[in-house]
Amino acid sequence: MANATAPGTDQNRLRDVIVVGAGFAGLYLLHRLRGAGFDTQVIEAGSDVGGTWYWNRYPGARCDVESLEYSYSFSEDLQQEWSWRERFATQPEILAYLQHVAERFDLRRGIRFNTRVTSAVFDEASAIWTVTTEAGDSLKARFCIMATGSISAPRLPDIPGIGDFRGEMHHTSRWPKEGVDFTGKRVAVIGTGSSGIQAIPCIAEAASQLTVFQRTPAFSVPARNAPLAADLVAQWKADYPAKRAAARNTRSGVLHEYSSTPAIGTPAPVRTAEFERRWVKGGTNFLYAYNDLGKNEEANAVAADFVRAKIAETVTDPRTARSLMPTDYPIGAKRICVDSNYFATYNRPNVSLVDLRETPITRITGNAIETASGRHEIDMMVLATGFDAMTGALLAIDIRTSGGTTLKDLWQGGPRTYLGLMTAGIPNLFLVTGPGSPSVLSNMVVSIEHDVAWITACLTELQARGAQTMQADPDAQDSWVAHVNELASGTLYPRASSWYVGANVPGKPRVFMPYIGGVDAYQRTCREIVDAGYRGFLIDAARSPAANARAVS
Ligand code: NA7
């Protein structure tokens, strides 16, 4: 397969693989596939590598997984030579890391930047993909891998008049590279998910006036971010392979303190002390204090009460404090936020909160946001309004077969995949951290490394077999989708109107999209399926005579 390159121009060359996206997934794919001898082209919409960490440049942007764990494990040299500065890395630091990876492994020459893919069409007769870009160029390849990210298609709010806003307006995920100067400005932030919660304390320090427009309050735990101590870094570097292996063997791909004790049955003072210990330690480790918080309503309420009490303690104005307390969904069922000084920011004299449940936005006129209770004059507007998560970036590309099967139709009732890796009806299309895999419920780097290794091994196996096509068996896919749904329905997750279920996008089918069974169980299943000869995948099934006739190099 590696020799499948046909003579002709670069444009006409038949590649082995086209990868869409040059974030954590696309970069590692290029490295692995190249190493395995596949002629690979990466296509990236941005002007540089980085994916999520290229686009999300808003002030305060940080990862909520600790930096020592949110990094590649595939190269011992890389993990020894790179030193993270803070417990939770900032966006510029992660971007610098990915730029370093691109340089170190000579990846940039395999990436076409500033190029957005608009369609990918699989010709069933020849088993060849034609991938077309916004500029109208077409590239051909045997396999297409979508490394387009789970949280990458931004959502703009549909507010009357927003298009006529006369001030400066930015979505957190499309932030200008040169930065934004809030000094002395009246700023509005719409949205209080992870992005809003990270940006708000930073914007408040510069702006003359910050007004936060909140539709749903979020549960947030303190990050307790700090510079990393040299001895801790040395300890990790001395033991990295074992730590990485241990992380892969956990539910979320992170070395949290996973409790095996239920909150129900634990005396209240013991529970409070344990929540307090984790609150002081910082980070999402808080959610793993007891093993029933994600499943038992009563247990969940105990953790939620603890956080609500912290909000009441921190925010001096009781009305604002009340508005900031989430009450209508379980803690953790919407992705928990990790903040630095978020709730305390509302004690600043230049910050105010508009509770949109009480006074919804009616329209935007000129330089003002109008709500049911009045006008808010502003100079700048920050939209921290989230993403069409998990499916948005995939469905933005017209993915289809020559026979007329489209991804859009196949996923009309919600995404359907086998292991999150392939979808029945579209051969030779792989997804990295697709819906139906642990993806957003896990340390993304751990899941990405798994999927990349799995896909590379799979392509190598197809090559060894001389096989041309592979796709998910519809029956195996049905069973997997049923399993994913069954696991989710045993938890409190589906109770929240979250992006996990597509509830933030009007008209999007309400389906719990990620696999909640854990990174450990998922990776074990993927291994077993390979050991059973790629059980549940159709390899060279129903190949057309034309495809059969093609020589496999
Ligand atoms: P999120 O978590 O989806 O948050 C988006 C926020 O924007 C959320 O508070 C929304 O309220 C709010 N929103 C969305 N549309 C509107 C309109 N029209 N009016 C008012 N408020 C609105 O996105 P983030 O970027 O913060 O984080 C995404 C993930 O990235 C995060 O979970 C991490 O994994 C990294 P709602 O809750 O829909 O009522």
pLDDT in tens, 509-519: 999 999 999 99
Q: Which of 385, 390, 433, 445 to mutate for ligand 1's pocket (most ligand atoms within 8 Å of CB)?
A: 385
The pLDDT of residue 2 is above 70 = no
**In this structure, how many other beta carbons lie within 10 angstroms of the beta carbon of residue 393?**
22
The pLDDT of residue 551 is above 50 = no
Cβ(24)–Cβ(148) below 8 Å: no
The DSSP secondary structure of 17-72, one letter per residue, reads EEEE--SHHHHHHHHHHHHTT--EEEE-SSSSS-THHHH---TT-B-SS-TTTSS-
- Give this prediction's pTM: 0.96
Cβ(61)–Cβ(151) below 8 Å: no
Which residue has the least CA distance to atom 35 on ligand 1? Answer: 194
- pLDDT the model gives residue 9: 52
The pLDDT of residue 362 is above 80 = yes
Annotation: CATH topology of 14-153+389-552: FAD/NAD(P)-binding domain (3.50.50)
Atom number, ligand 1, closest to the C-alpha of residue 173: 25
- pLDDT the model gives residue 542: 53
Give mean pLDDT, residues 350-356. 98
Cβ(355)–Cβ(192) below 8 Å: no
User: Model confidence over 241-286: pLDDT tens digits?
Assistant: 999 999 999 999 999 999 999 999 999 999 999 999 999 999 999 9
Annotation: CATH topology of 164-218+341-386: FAD/NAD(P)-binding domain (3.50.50)
Q: If you search the block for the tokens 């038949």, which residue do you land on?
A: 14
Running DSSP on this structure, what letter comes out for residue 90? B
Ligand 1 surroundings by CB, under 6 angstroms: 151, 157, 159, 172, 190-196, 213, 215-216, 335, 356, 384-387, 499, 504
Give mean pLDDT, residues 144-172. 96
Give mean pLDDT, residues 76-96. 98
The pLDDT of residue 553 is above 70 = no
Same fold, 14-153+389-552 and 164-218+341-386: yes
The pLDDT of residue 4 is above 80 = no
Mean pLDDT of the chain: 95
- pLDDT the model gives residue 428: 98
Work out whether the CA dihedral 399, 405, 407, 412 comes out positive or negative. positive
The pLDDT of residue 120 is above 50 = yes
Work out whether the CA dihedral 121, 122, 123, 128 comes out positive or negative. positive
For ligand 1, the distance from its centroid to the CA atom of residue 192, given in whole angstroms, is 6
For ligand 1, the distance from its centroid to the CA atom of residue 218, given in whole angstroms, is 9
Cβ(116)–Cβ(148) below 8 Å: no
User: Percent of the chain scored above 70 by pLDDT?
Assistant: 96
Which residue has the least CA distance to atom 15 on ligand 1? Answer: 385
> Domain extents for the chain?
14-153+389-552, 164-218+341-386, 256-335
Q: Which of 62, 220, 337, 504 to mutate for ligand 1's pocket (most ligand atoms within 8 Å of CB)?
A: 504
Q: Which residue has the higher pLDDT, 73 or 548?
A: 73
The pLDDT of residue 548 is above 70 = no
The pLDDT of residue 549 is above 70 = no
The pLDDT confidence band at residue 373, using thresholds 50, 70 and 90, is confident
For ligand 1, the distance from its centroid to the CA atom of residue 118, given in whole angstroms, is 26
- pLDDT the model gives residue 12: 77
The pLDDT of residue 3 is above 60 = no
- pLDDT the model gives residue 541: 85
Q: Which of 91, 156, 194 to mutate for ligand 1's pocket (most ligand atoms within 8 Å of CB)?
A: 194
